[in-house]
Chains A and B, each alone.
Chain A
Amino acid sequence: MKASVQFETWQIALPRRVATLARMHPLHRFEASKAARHIDLGKHDLRTLSLMVFDAVIERMGLAAGAPRDEIIEALRPIIIAAEPNSDFVRVAEVATAVLDFLMNEEERRRAFREEMLVVENGVQVTKEVSFHYLQQVLGPNDEPLYRATVEGINLYTGTLGLDVEDAHAANAAVLKYQIGRGRFREAVATARQAVAITTQYEQKVRRALDIARRDITAVNWAIEVLQTLGEARDHLRARIDADNEILRAVEDHEDDANIQERGHIAELVRHIHECQSRNSALHVLVMDANESWLGEHTRQAFRPRALGVMPDLEASVLRSSLMVADSRLDLETSWQLTAIFLPPSPPCIADGRRLIELLLAPRREYEGANSGLSEPEAEEMTQSVDRFSEQDYRDADTLLESAPGDGAFISDLLLKAQLSGLSKSVQTLIYLLALRAYGEAEENPEYRVDSADHCFTGDPFWGDDLVIRPAPKLEDVTHE
């Protein structure tokens, strides 16, 4: 937020300006280290390509939530082709992907770029860190990943690093009016495009401030900081809406005197100014409603569960600690809880075919009578539960299932074979259950593989979708070191 009007001493100005320079470092490093990349980027100026990405993304942020990857690649194509005329689509995509991956900081799992700087505070040299993103990814309305430029990214592109976005807005409007006043419409179009980018940047800034408040009302001081921000935003947006109207009037004044070539520029100019107007108006409505929204958020967050204390670092504090826990401390319940907490709610299963199969294959339960819970347990009198199927049943079933040839056999044929061989109904049932259990399972070292046969069968007493049983392929353990 803007500080009250005061003379900016070097103690205040220098750290801000060094931070401005630091925000460009990753881009320069990217260009300087291109020889060390795993793909050949020697013919390209990676700074040019990076700024072209911003151009494509910011333009699309005007109309949608961001830019899809394909459209960014398409926007980079002429620049890549100019450097490498024989590039095919694969090569263009490869170079574009390298630039996108850098701007997203994929090497560091999309974390913020961090730059250290040494500044002087109260006569002592201290190390400060600036962290920032250039580009981020969001899901669009059709669930497609879209790239979006951050405030810092737009700043870098518009060449307004170091300026408050409000100041950049005012400076841009002054330049625009000057260019229109002198009939320099071609230049004015470029300035107007920059105006759209700065408007987008301002929108991101305000939305980010509101988003932080929306996510956690305890993280902001609404009464002091946010209300002041909103007040300034309202004033700024009113000034911008007035300035846009003034610029439009200036364009109209010059329109009649323009030649045919200039008219094309003027049409584009008007389009950009209208876009700024519409974005500023929408943002103005959002800012006007923000206080009421916050009051609603305050009520809503009152019932939200919120663990006390600060959020831990998942990697350093939780994952690493969990790996060092003795497994004797991770009992059945604890180890399952560690999985369960990361799973979303799931409606309880009422009927589950797979569990039914397991149940039918499990040993029979003894009948539990009404008084069974009251009887004294006597360990020496307990006998092992009787299996539903005998060992001989399992041997017969396995022999039959293993007899399936390499190209597979239908379960209907195997059941018929079992009947003709005089195998009991119990063995036939076991064959059917084992086949059902193995269907679609990626089990460790399976003995046979079962797939759908895409047709039905009717037998006695079995009927339903037919299955194909074939011997499982041997596993080849390949450990990648």
Chain B
Amino acid sequence: MSDTSCDIAEKSGRLIRFALLPNLMPSGDPEYLALVREFLSNPSFQDVTSALARGLGLRVLNVSIQSGLVLGTTTDSPFQLHREDYHSRMSASDRIVQGLVHLGIAAWCFPRAEDLRESDDVLPARITVEELVEYLHTVCEELKAREERNIAAPSAEVRMALHHVLGLGKYSDSVDGRGSFATLAGKIRFALNFLTDHGFLKREGSDEHPSWLARPSFRIHVRELAGHEAFSIVARATQEISNG
């Protein structure tokens, strides 16, 4: 490998390192900004970075001066978060609800395909725990009512995912204001805080009434990767049902 190739490889590594630091934007680090600019103007740098990312089980989703290098993971990537690192004590029902909560956050921000196609820097609707609780609960209630109308005698054996959401208390505030993971609000708050800590959301407002804004990287991640993947997962699960 020539000196130039080594130099590019090292810079690609550094660029990926910056991209893996949550909440760091190119505007916050001159070196990161310089690397993004070089990436945008140097095809060799793009090729090496892409290859390096692929080797690590990462996908280059987007690169821009504003959001920097936005990466996604492949299914077998060591960079994909482990269940235990997300929350160490989740029951089977908790796991189902957490998936639905994350899907709910994305659907709240980008309900229709055209919302995802907006410019990357446009911020979608502000999120609050209360609004998301009502949103998810209302959708579940609607679907449940529709299902009950359509089926004369609902089968007690078929428990749908929505029942896990409806089975939870909406809110449960302890005396000192600490939320409980056992409620829907607690699970939503946990997911929002997790996405904030990992750079997808920006938290605003007071501790008593926090709200969240989705950063451009979240839009890119959902548009380029998660939206399609979620659709495939749900389609597979639905397909299996219709196939018996």
Contacts and interface: CB of A to CB of B under 8 A. Distances in A.
A325 to B, nearest CB: 5
A343 B176 contact: no
B212 to A, nearest CB: 12
Interface string A283-316: 0000000000000100110011111001111111
A334 B95 CA distance: 9
A318 B98 contact: no
A452 interface: no
A299 B60 CA distance: 13
Contacts of A318: 103, 107, 227, 230-231, 234
A279 to B, nearest CB: 18
Interface residues of A, number: 78
B9 interface: no
A376 interface: no
B233 A323 contact: no
Interface string B95-109: 110111011111111
A479 interface: yes
B206 interface: no
A334 B237 contact: yes
A475 B172 CA distance: 7
B222 A342 contact: yes
Contacts of A480: 170-171
A347 interface: yes
B29 interface: no
Nearest to B21: A347
- Among B161, B181, B217, B229: residue with most chain A CB under 10 A: B161
Report the interface size class on chain B.
35 or more
- Among B109, B111, B221: residue with most chain A CB under 10 A: B111
A141 B238 CA distance: 44
A111 B111 contact: yes
B231 A345 contact: no
A332 B99 CA distance: 11
B121 interface: yes
B156 interface: no
B236 to A, nearest CB: 8
- Among A347, A444, A479: residue with most chain B CB under 10 A: A444
Nearest to A321: B234
Nearest to B17: A347
Contacts, number: 281
Interface in B185-209: 186, 194-195, 198-200, 202, 204
Contacts of B83: 336
Contacts of B116: 311, 314
Interface stretch (A30-38, A47-55, A118-126, A352-360): A352-360
Nearest to B125: A109
A314 B223 CA distance: 10
Interface in B49-67: 50, 58-63, 66
Contacts of B181: 442-444
- Among A312, A317, A339: residue with most chain B CB under 10 A: A339
A260 interface: no
A109 B79 CA distance: 33
Contacts of B226: 341-342
A110 B178 CA distance: 30
A24 interface: no
A345 B225 CA distance: 12
A326 B108 CA distance: 23
A315 to B, nearest CB: 4
A455 interface: no
A320 to B, nearest CB: 6
Contact of A111 (B115, B143, B174): B115
Contact of B161 (A322, A342, A473): A322
Nearest to B94: A335
B210 interface: no
Contacts of B8: none
Contacts of A1: none
Interface string B156-175: 00111111110001111111
20 contacts: A109-B111, A109-B125, A111-B112, A305-B61, A305-B225, A314-B116, A316-B112, A321-B234, A324-B160, A324-B161, A325-B161, A326-B158, A339-B98, A339-B102, A343-B102, A344-B200, A345-B72, A442-B179, A442-B181, A444-B181
Interface of A: 106, 109-112, 136-139, 141, 143, 145, 208, 211, 215, 296, 299-300, 303-307, 310-330, 332, 334-349, 352, 354-355, 358, 442-445, 472-480
Interface of B: 20, 22, 25, 27, 40-41, 43, 46-47, 50, 58-63, 66, 71-73, 75, 77-86, 88-89, 92, 95-96, 98-100, 102-117, 119-126, 139-140, 143, 147, 158-165, 169-176, 178-182, 186, 194-195, 198-200, 202, 204, 213, 215-217, 221-231, 233-238, 240-241
Closest 7 pairs between A and B when the two form their complex, measured CB to CB: A338-B99, A307-B228, A109-B125, A315-B111, A345-B79, A444-B182, A342-B102
